[in-house]
Every structure is written in C-alpha cells, then in structure tokens.
Amino acid sequence: MNGDIQFDNINFAYPARPDVLVLRNLTLTARPGEITALVGSNGSGKSTCFSLLLRFYEPLSGGITINDRSITDYNLKQLRQKIGVVSQEPILFATSIYENIRFGKENATRIEIEEAARQANAHDFIMKLPNKYDTVVGEHGVLLSGGEKQRVCLARALVKQPVVLLLDEATSALDKASEKVVQEALDRACRTTIVIAHRFATIQNAHQIYVLHNGCVIEQGTHEILISKERSQYWKIMKEQQREQLENDIEEAATLTQYEDDDQKQTSERSRHYSHNELDDGNKYTAFAVSGSKLTERICSKAFAHYLRQEMAFFDLVENSSGAICNRLSSNALAIQQMVGSRLGIVFESIAMFGVGQRVALIGASGCGKSTVIQLLERFYDPMQGRISLDGVDIRELNMQWLRSCLGLVSQEPVLFDLTIAENIAYGIENTSIEDIIDAAIKANIHDFIQQLPQGYETKVGMKGSHLSGGEKQRIALARVLLRRPTILLLDEATSAMDSYNEQ
C-alpha cells in the first residue's frame, strides 16, 4: 500500500439521520507523498470523509479505493494500522506520556518514541516535566494543556510511520511556533497526508485543496490557483482570515505601545526581586514534591483501608475484582502524585485586574498556564499562595455552587451528552422554555443548522456528540453557556474548530 486514495461519487447519510445527505456525489483524490487539504464551513462533510476512510461507516453509494483496490477488500485491522489519525478532540489515557505514545506502535523503541515526539514538537516540553516521559497525564490528559495533548497525540500517530496520515484540526490548539515546527516535519515526511483545517498556515503548502460545501466539492486546486479566483469561496475564506489577522495585529500593536512606557519604569524595580524569588521557587518545588509524595501515600492507605471494610458482596462485582482494585489504586496514586507534586509548582507572580464589562485575552505558548488560570477561577484547584478575588472577596470565601453559577465555561473539548440538541442546550437549567433555547442558539450561530435537521431541536447528538462536527459541538456548548446568562464568560479555545464566518 502506497497511499493512493480515491473517493468516487460518494453519497452518505448518518444512520441516525438517514434523510439528510452529508456527502453528495463527492469525488476527490489524495496522492502518495502529497498533502491534500479539505476546507469548508462547519458541517460541510470534512470529518465524515475521514470516518468513511477508516470504515467507521459505509457509503450509501460510490466507492473508496486505495491503490485502485476497494477499502472493503482490505483486512480492517491491517487497513487501520496503515492509517494514523489525530482528531479534533485528542484522546489520552490515564498513564504515562511514554505509554500514550507507544499505543501507536506496541513494539516501539525508546528512540522511535522520542523521535516521534520531536517531529510533533513535544520532546522539549516533555523533558521539562519532573518525570519526563514517565509523567502520568491523568484521566483524559487532564494534567496537560490542549496544545500539549495535541502534540502527544500527533506523536502517537507518527510513531507507527503510517502510510496515510489524517489530521482533523490537529494543530488548532497549538501556538504559531509549535504549528510551524510540526508543519515542517509533516512536509518532510513524504506520506499521503489529508488535512482538515481552517488556519491559513496549515493549508497554504498543500499540493491539492478541496473546498467542500453541503457535502459537495465546489472548488479544487492549489492555494495559488484558488486564491487567484476573485470572489470564489476559497478566496472569501482566506480574505476573511487575513482581515481578522490584520485587526488582531493592529490591536496587539496598540496594546504594546500603551504599556511599553509602564513596562520600562517597572523593569528596574522587578529586577531587584528576581534573584530572591528564584531561590524561593527552588525551595517551593522541593517542598511540594516531598509533601505531595507523603499526601499520596496517606490517601492510598486510606483508600485501601476503605476497601477492606466493604461487604463480601462488593467484591463479587466484576469492576471490584482484585486486579481492578490494584490497578485503580496504582493509577490513582500516580495521578495524585502528578497533581500535588512539583507539577503543582506553577506560580503566577503577576497581579491582574479584570474590570466589569471588559474582554480580557490570555495568550502564550502551549503549557504556559492559560487554562490553569481558568481552572483556578472555577476552583477546580486553589492557588498555593496569593488570592483570586471577585468583587473584592476572596473566592475561597464564597459558596462554591453560587460561584460556579456565575461562571460560564466553554472548554477546548466541548462536552455533550447522548440527548437531544434542546436537552443539551438546557442541561442543568430547570423550566427552560423552547423560546429561550432558540434565542441562545441564535446567539451561538447554530440555529440555522439545527433548523435544517429533520427533527430540529429534537435531534439526538449521539454519545459525546458523535453525530456532529467539531464546530457544531462547540456552538451547541456555547449556546448552553449563553442560556445561563453568566456574569463571567470563560472561553478556552472555544472557537478553535469553527470556520472564520462562524467564529466572527
């Protein structure tokens, strides 16, 4: 298999929505050694192409071939072994970074794993962690930032050296520097790569670009050819991105100019404190590592003692077998150690004031602590020192339920339940009218899409929203937050999977 892929007149509808054709007479080609990009608005069918290639579903008509051979003729396990996938929502397991990467290739050597991490620009941040590749990432990778999770998942896909690499918004949470390094590694790989992306930097070097709309290919060609066609769909997408980038650059330049003078005045004063703070930080990390180890031991001992006090019937359950309990104790111990050990030593030395009605942006490289600020504000954790105040009151003194009712959070990975769209939007709010639900959906720019579905707001989204695209899930999650009318809105890469139009 050399990765010569052909989609020929594909028609497809999801089993849950058989009346809605997601792909209509779709034809496209991906050549070996080339990067093929799929571009289009949310729900245009881009991710569905990946699902069909991986044989999660079968097309209603038409065929998909690799090397002129139908994919149905390949052994399913062997087919998927030749394909590497990095999806919109990175999936990690509650084990070490090393083991998470090794899931891509069970017999991978240490050298192969580290090389894959370098290609994914993950090696440097991994080596800065206390336990390096043996660092446990927690359940669903909770101890890593969104960008770090994406890079570990990319390394897992690269370690098996796949013939075909599928990237579904795989760099949406990366900063520009990381994305550039990853993109250069992919360009050198000379494998069949199919990319779904909205970012200009991700698709401009593609050998072939297909623009999808309502499940059909409406434009195709290289970046140079498509951008030269004024008023084309691709031209509009790129111009919108360039306009947004220009506005961001102007705003950033104005902000830097405003604070430049203040920064110069404060530099000499801050420098006098640095050497003292560095010494304190070294002592803090050591102290938290030791205390974290002791706390982990105490918690595990109490958990074990609790198991010993259970009735005999408790141990008859499959999920409470001796092996399951031992595994639970060991994995939880590692997770706790990572949460309370030296990893917890992220210290915010600055003070920020966020005023009423302001829109505040946190920017920085992956892993610099942006998501951690939101976690502290939500009181998932408490700071080691310093305080966070709301209206002048330390949030630790506030009722936690009341505090969280004032906050609306849309995270990098939207959480949806196997319910209808209306029930997902109204989740957690009692006695909500359909008018309020529709109003929130309109504000999140998802109402028109919902109206096109046969069952409208009564459409089931599937487990974790599996029947929806990444952008559609993000907009439903945003509608759910807007329905609550929170005092404070927290958006953690909440529009990373949206096209430029929906993001605006």
Phi (first) and psi of residue 122, to 5 degrees: -105, -20
* pLDDT for 112: 93
Per residue in 38-61, pLDDT (tens digit) is 988 777 888 889 889 999 889 999
pTM given for the model: 0.59
Q: State the Cα–Cα distance between residues 310 and 315, nearest whole angstrom.
A: 8
* pLDDT for 347: 44
Strongest mean pLDDT among 145-159, 193-207, 460-474 = 145-159
Which region among 279-293, 334-348, 374-388, 461-475 has the lowest average model confidence (pLDDT)?
334-348
Q: State the Cα–Cα distance between residues 15 and 471, nearest whole angstrom.
A: 20
SS3 261: helix
Domain 406-503 carries which CATH code? 3.40.50.300
Our CA angle for 188, 52, 161, nearest 5°, is 30
Asked if the model's pLDDT at residue 447 lies above 80, the reply is yes
Higher pLDDT, 496 or 28: 28
* pLDDT for 189: 67
The band of 348, judged by pLDDT with boundaries at 50, 70 and 90, is very low
Check if CATH label 3.40.50.300 holds for domain 5-240: yes
* pLDDT for 200: 67
Handedness of CA 473, 479, 485, 487 (dihedral sign): positive
DSSP bridge pairs for 10: 26
The band of 6, judged by pLDDT with boundaries at 50, 70 and 90, is very high
Number of CB atoms found within 10 A of residue 478's CB: 25
Integer Rg of the chain from CA: 25
* pLDDT for 11: 93
- Spatial contact of 252 and 60, defined as CB atoms under 8 Å apart: no
DSSP calls for 213-254: ETTEEEEEE-HHHHHTSTTSHHHHHHHHHHHHHHHHHHHHHH
- Spatial contact of 239 and 250, defined as CB atoms under 8 Å apart: no
200: tokens are 């200009």
Average pLDDT over residues 208-227: 88
Per residue in 237-264, pLDDT (tens digit) is 777 766 766 665 565 555 545 555 555 5
* pLDDT for 9: 92
The band of 275, judged by pLDDT with boundaries at 50, 70 and 90, is very low
The band of 487, judged by pLDDT with boundaries at 50, 70 and 90, is confident
Q: State the Cα–Cα distance between residues 170 and 470, nearest whole angstrom.
A: 12
Asked if the model's pLDDT at residue 209 lies above 70, the reply is yes
Which region among 60-74, 417-431, 456-470 has the lowest average model confidence (pLDDT)?
456-470
Nearest to 336 by CA among 140, 139, 145: 139
The helix (H) or strand (E) run that includes residue 149 is helix 146-159
* pLDDT for 100: 92
Residue bearing tokens 């706790």: 336
Asked if the model's pLDDT at residue 297 lies above 80, the reply is no
Asked if the model's pLDDT at residue 126 lies above 60, the reply is yes
* pLDDT for 342: 47
Asked if the model's pLDDT at residue 273 lies above 50, the reply is no
* pLDDT for 366: 64
Higher pLDDT, 2 or 110: 110
Per residue in 433-446, pLDDT (tens digit) is 888 889 988 988 88
385: tokens are 């020192």
Whole-number Cα distances in Å, 99 to 92, 113, 149, 238: 10, 9, 14, 39
How many helices (H) and strands (E) would you count in the chain?
A: 18, 14
* pLDDT for 184: 72
Higher pLDDT, 77 or 255: 77
Strongest mean pLDDT among 226-240, 286-300, 396-410 = 396-410
Asked if the model's pLDDT at residue 229 lies above 50, the reply is yes
Q: Taking all residues of the chain, what is their mean pLDDT, rounded to a whole number? A: 78
Asked if the model's pLDDT at residue 346 lies above 90, the reply is no
The band of 345, judged by pLDDT with boundaries at 50, 70 and 90, is very low
SS3 458: helix
CA terminus-to-terminus distance, the chain: 42
Average pLDDT over residues 388-403: 85
- List Cβ neighbours of 268 (8 Å cut-off, separation of 6 or more): none
